[in-house]
Amino acid sequence: MDLEALESNHSPAPDNPYEREGCTTRGLTPLKGHPEKADLLSSDVKRSQPLLIQSGRWGRLRDEESRSSSLPDIPNPFPELCNSSPILSNTPNSSSPLEGGPHMVKVYSEDGTCRSLEVTAGATARHLCDMLVEKAHCLSDESWSLVELHPHLGLERCLEDHESVVEVQAMWPAGGDSKFIFRKNFTKYELFRGSPYALFPEDMIAGNLEAHKGLSHSELIQNFLNSGSWPEIQGYLHMKESGRKVWKRFFFFLRRSGLYYSTKGTSKDPRHLQYFADVNESNAYCLTQGKKLYSAPTEFGFCLKPYKMRSGTKGLKILCSEDEHSRTCWLTAIRLFKYGAQLYKNYQISRRGPQPWTDLKKQHSVSDSTLVPMDFSGCTGRVIENPLEALSVALEEAQSWRKKTTHRYSLPNPCQTTPSSSAVIHKTQAWYHGRLSRDETQRLMMQQGMADGVFLVRESTRNPKGFVLSLCHLQKIKHYLILPCEEDGKPYFSMDDGQTKFVDLIQLVEFHQINRGILPCILKHYCTCVAL
C-alpha cells in the first residue's frame, strides 16, 4: 500500500515522533521510504517504548474522534480541568465541587423563627420553597421565594428558582450574619403574570423605538419577548463614586456586553461611554439601608455584587433610582439580560405546583381527572363543553352563594352568645395582620413586592373600632379606612360611608377580589407571614 492509498482510506495520522521512527498502530503501515524500519513490527517492544492499544469500544471511539477532527489526537492528562463551571451555576444539575453528603441550610421566617433543613448539593431555591411550604402547611404558589440577606452590608436579593442554595451559602464569609429568609415576592414573575409593558416604559427603550419607527410600544415589547432578545435599556441613575460618599447622576445604558454610563449627557458616542459593570458576572441586590450605610440620595438603591467578592464594600457597584418603579424596571431588565429564557422556564415549573422533593409520590383519586362542569338547571343534567359558559355558570353560582350568605347572616341566631360573630371571624384569615403600624405595613409590603393588588387588612391605630385595608397600586401603597356601621340594629362594615355594606371583613375582601368597587384595582395577592 502506497502513501496515496493510505491517505484515501484513513484520516491524517497524528504527528507522533514514534510513528516517524517507524512505529505503527493497528491498520497503518510503515512510511514509504523506510523499509528497514519494518523489522520493528516483529521485534519485541522495548520497556521504555509506549504502546498504543486500541481495542473494543474505546478503540472505536478513538477512531471516530480522529476521523472527525484534523487536529493531532493528543491525550489530555487532566480531563477534569475541561469540566470547569462558574462559581454560581445557572443549571441546578450542573457539577459542583460541593457534591457529596447532605448539607445543612438554616432558613428564617418573617417573625424570626427558623428551621434547619438537610439538603443535597444540587438542591435549588425552588426545592427548598416546596419543602418549606409543605412543612409550614401553607398554600403553594409561584410567589414563595428564598431571599438572601446580608444585614452588615444592607443588601438582599431574591434567589432565582434554579440557583443552587448550597453554592450560594458557600460564598458567604465565615462567621458573618448572612442568612436566608422565606417570604413571598409578588414581583418575581410579574413580567409573565401581568403586563410586560409597565416594566419596559417608553422612556427606558426610546432608542429601540427610534430604530423601529413602524412599531408601537406594545408591539416592540411583544416582538422582543417572542424573539428571546431584549431591548437596550436606558435611563438616569445616581452612581456612587468608588471610595467616596459623593453621588452623581449619569445616563446609563444596559446592553448585552454590560452596563455603561455616558460622561456627556445622553450621548451614545463610544468616546463618551464608560464601562461600569458586567451583569453576567454579578448578582443584583436591593439596598435595605441605603441612606444609613451608603448615604444614598433616595431609598430606592440597588447594587451589583461580583461573584468573586465575599466580604467588604470595596467592590460593590452601587446605584440609586428615583422611585420604586424605576428600580423594579432596572432589576427586571438585569435579570432578563442575565438569565434570559431560564426565567420563563422557572415560572412554568413553579405554576405546576410543588415539585417532589422525596421519593414519596402523592396519590390522587381517579375521579379527580374525570370531573367536568355540569348544568342541572333543566330536567336532566348536561355537560358544559364551552369554557366561557362554564366560567359564566361558576360566577353565577358564586353570586348566588354570596346572597345566601348575606341572608344567613341577617337572620337572628338564638345560639349566638356575642353581639356579632363577625367581630372575630376575620382573625383566622392569612391576610389579617392584627395591630400593625403604618410604617411596618409599608415595610412588609415593600419586602414582598410592590405589585398591583398586593394587600393586607390590619387594625386601625387611630380608630379603635375600625380597620384599615392597605393596597398597593402603581408602586404606591394606599390605605382605606373600614368603619363599623349599623342598619336596623345589625352591624356591618363599610369603606364608603355605608353605601356598600358587608356583614364581616371576609365578605368585604372576597367582594373586592372580584369587583374593584371604590378601589383603584381588585385585590390580587395578600401579604402573609408564616412561622417555621
pLDDT of residue 77 exceeding 70: no
Query: How far is the C-alpha of 318 from the C-alpha of 250, rounded, in Å?
Result: 13
* Least confident range of 37-41, 95-99, 145-149, 503-507: 37-41
Do 40 and 128 sit in the same domain of this protein? Answer: no
Query: How far is the C-alpha of 229 from the C-alpha of 209, rounded, in Å?
Result: 15
pLDDT of residue 297 exceeding 50: yes
3-state helix, strand, coil split of the chain in percent (to 5) is: 30, 20, 45
Given this model, what pLDDT does residue 207 score? 77
Contacts for 24 with CB less than 8 Å, ≥ 6 apart: 30, 41
pTM of the model: 0.67
Do 70 and 9 sit in the same domain of this protein? Answer: yes
Which residue did the predictor score with more confidence, 405 or 183? 183
pLDDT of residue 227 exceeding 80: no
Do 73 and 113 sit in the same domain of this protein? Answer: no
**Confidence grade of residue 403 (pLDDT, cut at 50, 70, 90):** low
pLDDT of residue 319 exceeding 90: yes
Do 119 and 33 sit in the same domain of this protein? Answer: no
Given this model, what pLDDT does residue 211 score? 73
Q: Could you give the angle at the alpha carbon of 105 between the alpha carbons of 99 and 111, nearest 5°?
A: 160
Domain count, the chain: 4
* Least confident range of 24-28, 281-285, 403-407: 24-28
Residue 262 lies in a domain: yes
pLDDT of residue 93 exceeding 70: no
Do 62 and 136 sit in the same domain of this protein? Answer: no
For residue 283, give its domain range: 190-351
167-187 in b/e form (b: 16+ CB < 10 A) is bbbebeeeeeebbbbbbbbbb
In angstroms, the Cα distances linking 454 to 94, 322, 422, 509, 513 are 36, 22, 24, 12, 11
| Residue at grid coordinates 371576609 | 506
Lateral strand order in the sheet of 476-487: 490-494, 476-487, 467-473, 454-459, 525-526
Do 113 and 15 sit in the same domain of this protein? Answer: no
Query: What confidence tens digit (pLDDT) does each residue in 2-34 have?
Result: 444 444 444 444 444 434 444 444 444 444 444
Q: Single out the residue in 138, 169, 184 at which a domain terminates.
A: 184
Given this model, what pLDDT does residue 379 score? 63
Do 174 and 215 sit in the same domain of this protein? Answer: no
Do 171 and 196 sit in the same domain of this protein? Answer: no
What percentage of the chain reaches a pLDDT higher than 70?
70
Residue 408 lies in a domain: no
Query: How far is the C-alpha of 445 from the C-alpha of 332, rounded, in Å?
Result: 18
Do 269 and 157 sit in the same domain of this protein? Answer: no
Residue 401 lies in a domain: no
Mean pLDDT over the full length of the chain: 76
**HSE toward the beta carbon, residue 309, CA cutoff 13 A:** 16
Do 164 and 201 sit in the same domain of this protein? Answer: no
Query: How far is the C-alpha of 370 from the C-alpha of 221, rounded, in Å?
Result: 40
SS3 label, residue 172 = coil
Q: Which whole number is the average pLDDT over 344-357?
A: 76
